[in-house]
Chains A and B, each alone.
Chain A
Amino acid sequence: MGKKVIAIKNVDEKLYRRFKALATLKGLSLGEAFNQALSLWINISERVEVAECLAVEEEARANRQVYEELIDELLEKHRNKYVAIAKGRFLGVFESREEAFNVVKKLKPRHAIVTRVEPKKLRVIELGMSLFEVLE
């Protein structure tokens, strides 16, 4: 594989410092880490329409904000019911997930929250080794 020395303008200093620190932590040279970052970026960009992802994320942020604002009240009054939030609007309290989703569908959003009203813990899940590949 050919190796090349390149200089890049306008690199965000903060991002670069974090990148360098993480590369050091992982025991990678800057070049190795940069190559991994390039591969990952290309891989993602080829598979997913970036503009679509950003549009989904924008709606998701608005929906999550609404949920955050309402959660205490919902827990107090509607525990174990289902709620729907889409297009940055609270759509109501429902008896079932299906009922909630049917209301979401009519709005044709890119993103929606359909969830049971219950205390949510920050959950960490293990990802298996299958997400890694051994390159020889």
Chain B
Amino acid sequence: MKIPYSMGEEPPVPVLTLRVYSPGGDKNLVLTFRVDTGFAGGITLPYDIYLRLGLTLAEEPYPVIGRFVTGSTVKLYRAYTKVELEGKTVFYVYAYSSPYIAKKLVGREFLNKLILLLNGPQKTLEILDNSGLKKNISTTSTS
């Protein structure tokens, strides 16, 4: 599957479209995430979306500390939730958020489950092989 880069900014940026579920699975939103291998977590969500999906209802007890490259830090809340790729492959990842986070990012905790090709000249992100994910459920550590 090939996903075109977002051309909304210069230079164009690789993105992934994911369906993110509420903890109870009764609500979901299809959102486009910027691929960011520098982000160690699963996904970041703007706080209004985090609230809308009811992710505050299944939070971990302690916030984590998010550290920017400048060394400054921000408190991040996180909740474990279901994310769907291409309408069929289901993952469970942590969604991180804070009122200070405005962008939707997909980071290494999620990207490391996939074989991806960033085709810069064609400006497409290609998901090369999902055969290892055929069982459809993949879980990450919950620590």
- A131-B68 in contact (CB<8A): yes
Contact with B along A47-68 (1 / 0, CB 8 A): 1110011001000100110011
A125-B67, A126-B38 given as contacts; is B48 within 8 A of A105 (CB)? no
Number of contact residues on A: which range applies?
Answer: 35 or more
- B65-A122 in contact (CB<8A): yes
The yes or no answer to A20 lying at the interface (CB within 8 A) is no
- Residues from chain A with a CB closer than 8 A to the CB of B118 are none
A120–B94 alpha-carbon span in the complex (Å): 15
The yes or no answer to B120 lying at the interface (CB within 8 A) is no
A31–B101 alpha-carbon span in the complex (Å): 23
Which residue of A47, A60, A115 is within 8 Å of B47 (Cβ)? Answer: A47
Which residue of A101, A109, A125, A128 is within 8 Å of B36 (Cβ)? Answer: A128
Give the residue name and chain of the A residue nearest to B38 (CB): A128
A97-B80, A123-B65 given as contacts; is B24 within 8 A of A130 (CB)? no
A112-B58, A113-B59, A124-B67 given as contacts; is B23 within 8 A of A129 (CB)? no
Which residue of B23, B34, B73, B80 is within 8 Å of A130 (Cβ)? Answer: B34
Q: Which residues of A contact B (CB under 8 A)?
A: 26, 40, 43-44, 47-49, 52-53, 56, 60, 63-64, 67-68, 71, 85-86, 97, 101-102, 104-105, 109-116, 118, 120-132
Extra contacts, 16 of them, besides A114-B80, A125-B41, A129-B69 (Cβ < 8 A), are A40-B100, A48-B99, A49-B48, A67-B61, A101-B23, A111-B56, A115-B61, A115-B142, A116-B142, A120-B61, A122-B65, A124-B64, A126-B40, A128-B36, A128-B37, A131-B68
